[in-house]
């Protein structure tokens, strides 16, 4: 297991949940907190701790987004009309790296981010190398013609480990899809329990 994977999976053990539902996640065998007393450590979480964990979980799920960037996304959701929790999820799912991950062009959100930064992804025919780029509904996301034979992309698409959600259409043969609409929270296929309302409460303290 590579260094980045070991680092990534620390989040699962720290929060007590398999964040990405990955079969390789050590949490599947060691479902307790790290440390000498991890197996015996049982603590009743305070309200603040639950809110903090919910924020860390959501931030971590989308590739360990930096706190400043995540707070900026949250503030944008606050300024919009509607339920802040729902809007927050919609903004996160509209990120280019998240959409590349949902299409199974990459095996993880971290790998999806790398594909974007290495200029392998087009949005409406234009190269976009910013993982946080907000994709608008109706936009077409695809792999560049010169990148379609890359081994990691081929392997991920051939496996299709995750079902592509209804708010995204995807043609595996063309390695091309459309972001149809911004999803509701209930539509997003999280492998663990996510509670955006606790995140809203955390930042509203």
CATH class of segment(s) 3-91+190-203: mainly alpha
DSSP for 27-64 reads GGT--S-SSTTGGG---PPPHHHHHHHHHHHHHHHTT-
132-170 pLDDT, tens digit each: 999 999 999 999 999 999 999 999 999 999 999 999 999
Strand partners, 143: 121
| Predicted local confidence at residue 8, as pLDDT | 66
Triad 18, 22, 26: Cα angle to 5°: 65
Size of the chain in residues? 205
| Predicted local confidence at residue 42, as pLDDT | 58
The residue whose two tokens read 């049982």 is 42
Within this chain, domains 3-91+190-203 and 95-181 share the same CATH topology: no
| Predicted local confidence at residue 90, as pLDDT | 98
User: Which residues have a Cβ under 8 Å from the Cβ of 67 and sit 6 or more positions away?
Assistant: 59
Dihedral, CA of residue 63, residue 67, residue 72 and residue 76, to nearest 10: 60
What does DSSP assign to residue 95? B
| Predicted local confidence at residue 26, as pLDDT | 54
One digit per residue, the tens of pLDDT, for the chain of length 205 reads 444 444 566 776 777 787 767 766 555 555 555 555 455 455 688 999 999 999 999 999 999 999 999 999 999 999 999 999 999 999 999 999 999 999 999 999 999 999 999 999 999 999 999 999 999 999 999 999 999 999 999 999 999 999 999 999 999 999 999 999 999 999 999 999 999 999 999 999 8
| Predicted local confidence at residue 136, as pLDDT | 98
CATH T-level fold of 95-181: 3.10.290
Strand partners, 171: 176
Residue extents of the structural domains in the chain: 3-91+190-203, 95-181
- 196-203 and 47-61 helices cross at what angle (nearest 10)? 110
């Amino acid at each position: 297991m590579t260094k980045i994977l070991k680092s990534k999976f620390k989040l699962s053990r720290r929060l007590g949940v398999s964040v990405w539902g990955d079969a390789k996640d050590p949490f599947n065998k060691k479902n307790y907190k790290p440390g000498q007393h991890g197996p015996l450590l049982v603590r009743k979480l305070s309200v603040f701790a639950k809110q903090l964990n919910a924020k860390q979980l959501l931030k971590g799920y989308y590739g360990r987004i930096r706190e400043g960037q995540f707070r900026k996304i949250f503030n944008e959701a606050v300024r919009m009309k509607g339920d802040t929790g729902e809007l927050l999820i919609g903004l996160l799912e509209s990120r280019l790296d998240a959409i590349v991950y949902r299409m199974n062009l990459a095996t993880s959100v971290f790998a999806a981010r790398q594909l974007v930064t290495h200029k392998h992804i087009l949005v409406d025919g234009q190269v976009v190398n910013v993982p946080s780029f907000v994709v608008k509904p109706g936009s077409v996301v695809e792999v560049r013609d010169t990148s379609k034979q890359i081994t990691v992309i081929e392997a991920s698409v051939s496996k299709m480990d995750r079902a592509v959600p209804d708010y995204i259409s995807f043609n595996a043969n063309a390695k091309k899809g459309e972001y149809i609409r911004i999803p509701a929270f209930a539509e997003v296929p999280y492998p663990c329990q996510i509670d955006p309302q606790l995140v809203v409460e955390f930042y509203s303290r």
